[in-house]
């Protein structure tokens, strides 16, 4: 009898544990964004008919043998992430690297380079360090202060330079050093004249100099002040370059501005790679600014005489009224060239958009799948869940049959999808929502009761 009771108890415990795990799995849910495809376009529809878009893909191909000079760049990587700090502040974090082809740039294996900068709304500071033996060496600091916004600036440069005679003749360097005091007066008059009085040379001073056996070292400082926008305009005109009103127009940034920005650029000489890390904060409505730029660019395209009627209609009916949000978006891009293979990988994650209607978005995607078919890409339409509400995907018989379809998600090959705009989305409410806390509590209590009952039976003979 005891063996039978123990067998029944073990079975009961197994069943209780199974249902506890099953209920917890339903409450947690599967990660729907882990689609398992290498190349896809995903559009997640929210209950308010906004859409979260993710694009992920890779491309590789063999190219014909490169004759003559090889390409200058072997690799390029870029990452950019925008994240919300609060409703009025966005954090920007990015990095990129450029790998040079060693057959083209082997001479740069001796280059040491480092640039470090910080800027805010009223100033910028840049530290420069360059050491290229046999050519040049530079250590300097550049400071820019906004005196009268937006372009009334004060610019100060302190620099220590090392010039090699193999590149810069010693006689020329000696002549510059000797004539620098007179050059200051001449240069000051030239700058005032060329800039029509908008920029003034406040100071040009040689602090020290030393003529060595193979190179010369000298230290100097330079100060400029004035309205640099007006000054550059006058300088260009004096050189015979006429700038149009559009080129001189400085776009206003009414919605947002960089509150601070930092960057660090260096050269990794063993891999011949230029690397940069950047980061900063933007105060204001970044999305409003981006949509303003988007609309202005599209308005310019609409003025083109080469634009056909169909593209014009698409811009007016879909792209112009569609709102985008780049905040909390991730962008990754990678390019590499090895031997005869080119590979590109890219990801655009969580780009929010609000089209004029879901039907217009689907019509655009369906048309794109016919005009630019890409069978190695998948189109994924998914409904978002929010609390007890979720968005169901309804696929009519007129629409091309998807590769797979569930109540909240459907997948097609992105090629010639017919009647995609017939797909509809419906907000539904779960009839019996599962509460995670309650589920775990019930499961634990159930296991405790079964365990206690088993213990009492085993005590009996």
* DSSP notation for 234-290: HHHHHTT-PPPHHHHPPPP--SEEEEEEEEEEEEETTTTEEEEEEEEEEEE-HHHHH
123 falls within a domain:
yes
Cα-only R_g, the chain: 33
Query: 224 with 191: CB under 8 angstroms?
Result: yes
Same domain? For 155 and 259 the reply is yes
Same domain? For 127 and 270 the reply is yes
Q: How many domains does the chain have?
A: 3
Domain around 374: 356-430
For residues 233 and 312, give the distance between their C-alpha atoms in angstroms, rounded to a whole number: 36
63 falls within a domain:
no
pLDDT in tens, the chain (461 residues): 434 333 333 333 333 333 333 333 333 333 345 578 889 999 999 999 999 999 999 988 877 655 667 788 999 999 999 999 998 999 999 999 999 999 889 999 999 999 999 999 899 999 999 999 999 999 999 999 988 877 889 999 999 999 999 999 999 999 888 888 778 888 888 889 888 899 999 999 999 999 999 999 999 999 999 998 888 888 888 777 766 655 555 555 567 888 999 999 999 999 999 999 999 999 999 999 999 999 999 999 999 888 889 889 999 999 999 999 999 999 999 999 887 788 999 999 999 999 999 999 999 999 999 998 888 899 999 999 988 889 999 999 999 999 999 999 999 999 999 999 999 999 998 765 444 444 455 445 455 555 544 444 444 44
Same domain? For 145 and 162 the reply is yes
Same domain? For 362 and 380 the reply is yes
Same domain? For 129 and 203 the reply is yes
Same domain? For 443 and 378 the reply is no
For residues 170 and 164, give the distance between their C-alpha atoms in angstroms, rounded to a whole number: 8
Same domain? For 12 and 105 the reply is no
Same domain? For 116 and 265 the reply is yes
Alpha carbon dihedral 12, 14, 15, 21, in 10-degree steps, equals: 140
Same domain? For 207 and 131 the reply is yes
Same domain? For 408 and 447 the reply is no
How many Cα atoms occupy the beta-carbon half-sphere of 268 within 13 Å? Answer: 11
183 falls within a domain:
yes
340 falls within a domain:
no
The model scores a pTM over 0.85? no
348 falls within a domain:
no
327 falls within a domain:
no
Same domain? For 196 and 157 the reply is yes
| Residues contacting 385, CB < 8 A, separation 6+ | 29, 391, 408
Same domain? For 144 and 209 the reply is yes
324 falls within a domain:
no
pLDDT of residue 257: 84
Tokens encoding 170: 């010693």
pLDDT of residue 5: 34
300 falls within a domain:
no
pLDDT of residue 247: 57
Q: Which position has the token pair 């004096």?
A: 238
pLDDT of residue 341: 86
Tokens encoding 78: 């870029």
Tokens encoding 282: 């933007």
């Amino acid at each position: 009898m005891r063996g039978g009771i123990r067998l029944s108890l073990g079975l009961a415990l197994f069943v209780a544990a199974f249902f506890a795990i099953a209920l917890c799995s339903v409450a947690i849910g599967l990660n729907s964004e882990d689609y398992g495809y290498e190349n896809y376009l995903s559009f997640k529809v929210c209950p308010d008919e906004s859409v979260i878009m993710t694009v992920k893909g890779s491309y590789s191909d063999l190219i014909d043998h490169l004759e003559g000079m090889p390409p200058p760049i072997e690799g390029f990587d870029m990452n950019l992430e925008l994240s919300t700090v609060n409703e009025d502040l966005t954090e920007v974090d990015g990095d990129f690297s450029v790998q040079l082809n060693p057959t083209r740039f082997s001479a740069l294996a001796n280059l040491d380079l480092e640039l470090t900068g910080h800027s805010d709304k009223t100033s910028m500071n840049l530290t420069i360090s360059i050491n290229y033996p046999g050519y040049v060496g530079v250590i300097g600091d550049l400071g820019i202060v906004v005196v009268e916004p937006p372009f009334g600036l004060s610019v100060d440069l302190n620099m220590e330079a090392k010039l090699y005679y193999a590149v810069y003749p010693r006689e020329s360097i000696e002549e510059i050093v000797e004539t620098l005091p007179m050059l200051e007066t001449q240069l000051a008059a030239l700058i005032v004249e060329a800039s029509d009085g908008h920029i003034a040379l406040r100071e040009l001073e040689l602090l020290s100099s030393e003529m060595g056996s193979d190179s010369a070292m000298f230290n100097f400082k330079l100060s400029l002040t004035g309205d640099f926008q007006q000054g550059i305009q006058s300088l260009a005109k004096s050189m015979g370059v006429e700038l149009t009103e559009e080129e001189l127009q400085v776009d206003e940034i009414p919605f947002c501005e960089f509150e601070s920005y930092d960057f660090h650029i260096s050269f990794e000489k063993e891999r011949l790679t230029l690397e940069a890390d950047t980061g900063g904060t933007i105060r204001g409505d970044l999305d409003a600014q981006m949509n303003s730029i988007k609309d202005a660019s599209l308005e310019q395209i609409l003025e083109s005489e080469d634009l056909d009627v169909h593209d014009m209609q698409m811009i007016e009916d879909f792209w112009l009224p569609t709102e985008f949000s780049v905040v909390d978006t991730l962008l990754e891009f990678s390019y590499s060239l090895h031997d005869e293979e080119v590979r590109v990988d890219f990801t655009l994650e969580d780009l929010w958009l609000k089209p004029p209607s879901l039907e217009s978005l689907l019509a655009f995607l369906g048309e794109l799948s016919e005009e630019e078919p890409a069978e190695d890409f998948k189109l994924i339409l998914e409904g978002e869940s929010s609390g007890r509400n979720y968005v169901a995907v309804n696929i009519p018989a007129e629409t091309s049959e998807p590769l797979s379809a569930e109540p909240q998600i459907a997948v097609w090959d992105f090629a010639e999808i017919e009647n995609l705009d017939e797909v509809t989305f419906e907000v539904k409410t779960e009839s019996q929502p599962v509460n995670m806390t309650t589920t775990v509590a019930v499961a634990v209590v159930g296991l405790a009761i079964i365990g206690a009952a088993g213990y009492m039976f085993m005590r009996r003979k």
